[in-house]
């Protein structure tokens, strides 16, 4: 008496249920990676605010190491438009820049008058012009509005006078304090493997649907003959 073989087949609707579940797990894993990146980036900005160079360097390394090893999906605002990026997005070490810029301005304002410059110490003059505004609005040396005022006052003088002064108001470029870490499109992490499984299952479902569609069209064609 021959035994009956039982064939186990997975229905397409069952695959769809698994696919939906994997999509949910993938989204959750990506969300967790994004939140971890945000925490690490916040630690960088906190260290920047505190002016702790060692802590800042360590937190930057931690953020970079995490970002390049994980899939970090980030929605950034660029000129009012939402944009999808893989990574941290652009951020600035604003307080580090302001500290460096204010140090330059303080040194320039304290420079002795250069007799060869008909306008004298233009940096001290710029500082004197901005000081009343700083007092009125409570600006500190490293306040962005105070620095902007200082730059505007210096711009009133001929470029050759500024270049020939004893100490240049050589404000550092903001690009030196610009940071952005890019994440890979795929990484061997939990979210990466779940995404891979989701994509493969999606391909299987698509192929099944394509085969079903071809068979249906073939049957319709045969019946019409």
Write down the domain spans for the chain.
12-90+180-209, 94-177
Q: How far apart are the first and last CA of the chain?
A: 44
Whether the pTM exceeds 0.85: the reply is: no
Per-residue pLDDT tens digits for 162-190: 544 444 456 677 788 899 999 999 999 99
Q: Which residue has the tokens 């660029």?
A: 78
**Is-contact 175 90, C-beta < 8 A?**
no
Angle at 21 between CA 17 and CA 24, to 5 degrees: 145
User: Quick count: other Cβ atoms within 10 Å of Cβ 175?
Assistant: 7
**Average pLDDT per 10 consecutive residues for the chain, totaling 225 residues:** 58 90 95 96 95 94 97 82 88 87 71 56 78 79 77 75 49 83 94 95 93 87 74
**Is-contact 194 29, C-beta < 8 A?**
yes
Q: Give the single-character DSSP code of 176.
A: G
Per-residue pLDDT tens digits for 125-151: 787 888 888 878 877 766 778 778 877
Whole-number Å distance between alpha carbons of 149 and 130: 6
- pLDDT on residue 116: 56
CA 37 from chain centre, in angstroms, equals 10
**Is-contact 51 59, C-beta < 8 A?**
no
Residues 6+ apart with CB under 8 A from 204: 15
Angle at 173 between CA 171 and CA 176, to 5 degrees: 130
**Is-contact 114 121, C-beta < 8 A?**
yes
Tell me if residue 182 falls in helix, strand or coil: strand
């Amino acid at each position: 008496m021959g035994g009956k073989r039982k064939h186990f087949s997975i229905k397409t609707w069952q695959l769809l249920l698994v696919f939906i579940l994997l999509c949910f797990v993938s989204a959750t894993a990506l969300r967790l990676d994004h939140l971890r990146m945000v925490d690490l980036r916040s630690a960088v900005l906190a260290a920047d605010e505190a002016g702790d160079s060692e802590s800042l360097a360590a937190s930057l390394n931690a953020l970079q190491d995490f970002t390049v090893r994980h899939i970090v999906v980030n929605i950034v605002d660029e000129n009012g438009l939402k944009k999808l990026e893989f990574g941290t997005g652009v951020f600035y070490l604003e307080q580090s820049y302001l500290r460096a810029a204010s140090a330059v301005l303080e040194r320039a304002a304290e420079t002795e008058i250069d007799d060869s410059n008909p306008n004298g110490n233009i940096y001290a003059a710029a500082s004197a012009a901005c000081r009343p505004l700083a007092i009125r609005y409570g600006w500190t040396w490293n306040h962005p509005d105070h620095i902007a005022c200082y730059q505007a006052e210096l711009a009133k003088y001929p470029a050759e006078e500024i270049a020939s002064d004893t100490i240049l108001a050589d404000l550092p470029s903001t690009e030196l304090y610009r940071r952005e870490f890019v994440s890979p499109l795929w990484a061997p992490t939990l979210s990466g493997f779940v995404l891979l499984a989701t994509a493969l299952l999606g391909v299987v479902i698509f192929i099944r649907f394509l085969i079903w569609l071809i068979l249906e069209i073939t049957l319709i064609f045969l019946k019409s003959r």
